[in-house]
Homo-oligomer: A and B are copies of this chain.
Amino acid sequence: ASHQGSVAAAQKAPTTIDTSKFMAPPITELSVLEGKPNDMRTKMELMIMRIQSEFCRALEGEEGAGCKFTVDRWRRHNPSEGGGVTCVLQDGKTFEKAGVNITVMTAPLSKELQASMRARGKKLPEDKKFSFFAAGISSVIHPRNPHVPTIHFNYRYFEMQDEDGNNKHWWFGGGTDLTPYYLDEGDVKLFHGVLKSACDRHQPDYYSRFKKWCDDYFFVKFRGERRGVGGIFFDDLEDTDPEKMFGFVTDCADAVIPSYLPLVKKHKNDAVSEEERRWQLLRRGRYVEFNLVYDRGTKFGFATPNARIESILMSLPLHARWEYMHQPAPGTPEYKITEVLKNPKDWV
């Protein structure tokens, strides 16, 4: 594997980047990363590899002995376009399905994606061909116990330019959001509080803006409800110094563990009834609906030529259930959470 290198190579160019704790070697050649240590592409790739590893190890710490993430390092159909590292833990004691994926890729921007970029306000001349660079981490954790919420986060950096190296664009996007099956207000407050702290260190209005953006984004129109209790969501962040943006995105990614692990520890051994398990599976059906019908990241994946579909759909739960006209009875805990999904609240 390239992160170990040969003795000869190590003597020629001593490694200054420590990749020993990563789940796998970075996608980009180490020599390239080391040659451009201050390039945002390098910084982003190393950050997401670190976060991936720290999050996977933290989750493994909540699992039974011997239950580890499998690490799948893959390249795109055209290897020069990059690839990713998909880490999955399936059918564990604590986690029914946990996926943590990083992608680092450069590829031509399809016409379909160019049109969708224009619809989002990017100024891309019609007569030019564009390519993009993307480095991002994306994760969805579906725990076994219905009292432990599902978490999703995604942090990404994009660059785009035309075939002549002009019309350059760059931006950051991302977010972290929580999907509980049962409402524990303390959990939701802790989760939002940690995200707010991360935001507040950067700009006073970030949390309120990005909290609202999250509530709006994760809306399933045909159900009239949100996927979960929100968190933060932002996209097209390009209005300030890239270094500052990178610092913000890094802080958000570092906030994932303290926002979520306490909830896992608190509830992973809660007693579970058959009815609670059934409710969890029904809500997982709703999660599938959002991800397949609305999620922009999934749609972007579907529209990317030779997309690695298994890494995109890693977000889907191990099990989901659909019943015709299932409606929780008023006053039940199942009803309580649906009320919050219909009417988002301020938690901090």
Smallest CB-CB separation from A288: which chain B residue? B288
Q: Are A318 and B322 in contact (CB under 8 A)?
A: yes
Q: How many copies does the complex hold?
A: 2
Please tell me if A113 contacts chain B, counting CB pairs below 8 Å: no
* Sample of 6 more A-B contacts, CB < 8 Å, known A288-B320, A292-B292, A319-B321: A88-B325, A221-B302, A222-B302, A285-B320, A292-B293, A293-B293
Please judge, given known A-B contacts A318-B321, A318-B323, A322-B317, whether A302 and B293 are in contact too, CB under 8 Å. yes
**Residues of chain A whose beta carbon lies under 8 Å from any beta carbon of chain B:** 72, 86, 88, 90, 97, 99, 221-223, 281, 285, 288-289, 292-293, 302, 307, 309-310, 313-314, 316-325
CB distance from A197 to the nearest CB of B (A): 33
Complex: A72 Cα to B325 Cα, angstroms: 10
Listed residue (A223, A307, A320, A324) with the most chain B CB atoms within 10 angstroms of its CB: A324
Complex: A253 Cα to B321 Cα, angstroms: 29
Please judge, given known A-B contacts A222-B302, A307-B222, A309-B222, whether A324 and B319 are in contact too, CB under 8 Å. no
Complex: A322 Cα to B140 Cα, angstroms: 13
Complex: A174 Cα to B259 Cα, angstroms: 50
- Residues of B near A289 (CB, < 8 A) are 292, 313
- Residues of B near A316 (CB, < 8 A) are 285, 322
Complex: A302 Cα to B289 Cα, angstroms: 12
Q: Are A292 and B288 in contact (CB under 8 A)?
A: yes
The 6 closest A-B pairs by CB, nearest first: A292-B292, A316-B322, A88-B324, A222-B309, A310-B325, A320-B320
Q: Are A86 and B324 in contact (CB under 8 A)?
A: yes
Smallest CB-CB separation from A281: which chain B residue? B319
